Amino acid sequence: MRRNEVNVITLGCSKNLVDSEQLMRRFASAGYAVRHDPKRITGEIVVINTCGFIGTAQEESINTILGFVRAKNEGRIGKLIVMGCLSERFRGDLKTEIPEIDALYGKFDWKNLVADLGPSFAPDTETARLISTPRHYAYLKISEGCDRACSYCAIPIITGRQKSRPIASLVSEVTQLVAEGCSEFQLIAQDLTSYGRDLDGRVLLAPLLEQLSDIAGVRRLRLHYAYPTQFPREILPIMRERNNICNYLDIALQHATDHMLRRMRRNITQLETERLLDEIRQEVPGIVLRTTLMVGHPGETEQDFQALLRFVERIRFERMGAFAYSHESGTYAYKHYRDEIPEEEKMARLEQLMAVQEPIAEAYSRSLIGTSQEVLIDRREDEFVVGRTPYDSPEVDPEVLIPLEEGRSLRVGRYYQLPIVGVDGFDLLAQVAKL
């Protein structure tokens, strides 16, 4: 193993990635050589930033930890440190079941990690980070925690109540990242649309968007993880009128029927949901909506599920993800409902739901053929130069593919207006316009 080298492994969501990037900056400030590479199992220190949201994420985190335990036993790594949501939630169990872990940190006390190792250092700022994404885009975590009480969700158990960052702090961070070459920002939070309520009693998402979009060099702002209940409609005209705020909204709905929305404690009805979606599309013409839906929650009948399928067919989300219910200890559902739907039935419903969505998403991609789109180039890969339109978020959405031979002149991190000439699955095919 290489001395004075640390490898940070990030599992789970982009909010975890931001924490890892801040930790990496702290290690670098303390003189460590820092990597963010799960495939190279080396290093004097390995830190695994875990996810503990649902069962499948917990299983991935445990398996990753065990893989690095084997590497430690074989002498390929030195210290093994675990942090994040899984250790916040199950710290005692991890300490007992996997004694090879040298230190455990949770969702918030990881900021003591580098200092606890011995080196004396002063971090640049509380939020300074070493970006692990391509330098032209970054995730911007505007708050942590959640005040909602959805039946199935363990996030409030892990993160506690919402804590919003002040607007001035976010403006300062974005200004610094722009100076370092970043131009696209994904705004993230457990509940983006409640941002600021804990600061002065009112939602501050609209003034935040205005101030961020005013920063010279910001080309794209994209909104993730909105909540439909008490949605701040005042952001819609800002999205429509500001060219550097993407006409894109990630709004997790989870279900459609009144019966299931009550069971899930979502505090909204199907009619209210549909009216909100109609209003969003009317106020921001051409907006791309991404949502997340859940199947198999306790009490979901076949009638509920069929109604959910009809809802998806009728609304025609341009982007959609889905997952099966996980019976998580400590949640309202765990305490009050029986997890009575068999796992195989959950997975069958999940497969059927995605089968309904696939042709909808493909039809949307095909509707862009013949249009010209602004494409941000992310990378070169195999036979293609790969980029994204304003309607595509990194990692989760389709991409734009340009044949490598044709796109050699395109530079990573730059924006180009390109004609869309075809589709490959859900991805778009573009060509470099001939002069």
Give 262-292 pLDDT, tens digit per residue.
999 999 999 999 999 999 999 999 999 999 9
Q: Kindly give the pairing relationship between strand 415-424 and strand 184-188.
A: unpaired
- Residue 376: closest CA among 188, 166, 219: 219
| Residue-level pLDDT at 369 | 96
User: Greater confidence, 119 or 74?
Assistant: 74
Q: Which residues contact 66 (CB under 8 A, 6 or more apart)?
A: 98
23: exposed, middle or buried (Cβ count in 10 Å: 0-12, 13-18, 19+): buried
Orientation angle between helical segments 167-179 and 205-213, nearest 10 degrees:
30
Instruction: Work out the number of other CB atoms within 10 angstroms of the CB of residue 330.
Output: 12
User: Greater confidence, 151 or 28?
Assistant: 151
Q: In angstroms, rounded to a whole number, what is the distance separating the alpha carbons of residues 346 and 98?
A: 31
Alpha helix (H) residue ranges in 292-342: 302-315, 332-336
| Measured CA distances, 398 to 173, 285, 321, 423 (Å) | 28, 21, 12, 10
Split at pLDDT 50, 70, 90, the class of 435 is: very low
| Residue-level pLDDT at 125 | 64
User: Greater confidence, 223 or 110?
Assistant: 223
Q: Structure pTM?
A: 0.90
* Average pLDDT of the segment spanning 416-427: 94
Split at pLDDT 50, 70, 90, the class of 123 is: low
Give the number of residues written for the chain.
435
Instruction: Work out the number of other CB atoms within 10 angstroms of the CB of residue 423.
Output: 19
Q: In angstroms, rounded to a whole number, what is the distance separating the alpha carbons of residues 27 and 39?
A: 20
pLDDT of residue 2 exceeding 60: no
Split at pLDDT 50, 70, 90, the class of 89 is: confident
Which amino acid is located at 251 in the chain? I
| Measured CA distances, 189 to 27, 145, 204, 278, 307 (Å) | 25, 8, 13, 24, 29
| Residue-level pLDDT at 120 | 59
* Average pLDDT of the segment spanning 52-72: 86
- In what helix (H) or strand (E) does residue 224 lie, and over which residues does it extend? strand 220-226
With beta carbons less than 8 A apart as the criterion, state whether 177 and 138 touch.
Answer: yes
pLDDT of residue 243 exceeding 70: yes
Split at pLDDT 50, 70, 90, the class of 140 is: very high
pLDDT of residue 44 exceeding 70: yes
* Average pLDDT of the segment spanning 205-211: 98
| Measured CA distances, 180 to 104, 176, 266 (Å) | 33, 6, 40
| Residue-level pLDDT at 221 | 98
Alpha helix (H) residue ranges in 30-154: 55-73, 85-97, 113-116
pLDDT of residue 420 exceeding 80: yes
Residue 423 in tokens:
């589709």
1: exposed, middle or buried (Cβ count in 10 Å: 0-12, 13-18, 19+): middle
Q: 81 forms bridges with which residues in the sheet? A: 47, 103
Instruction: Work out the number of other CB atoms within 10 angstroms of the CB of residue 297.
Output: 23
Backbone dihedral angles phi then psi of residue 121, each to the nearest 5 degrees: -155, 165
| Residue-level pLDDT at 124 | 63
Average of per-residue pLDDT values in the chain: 92
| Residue-level pLDDT at 46 | 92
High-pLDDT (> 70) share of the chain, %: 97
* Residue showing tokens 């100076």: 179
* Segment 70-79, tens digit of pLDDT: 988 888 888 9
- Residue 227: closest CA among 193, 198, 200: 193
pLDDT of residue 1 exceeding 80: no
Residue 386 in tokens:
């790969």
pLDDT of residue 373 exceeding 90: yes
| Measured CA distances, 97 to 59, 81, 84, 123 (Å) | 14, 15, 17, 34
Starting at the edge strand that comes first in sequence, how are the strands of the sheet with 103-104 ordered? 33-35, 5-10, 43-50, 77-84, 103-104
Question: If DSSP codes are grouped into helix, strand and coil, which group holds residue 239?
Answer: helix
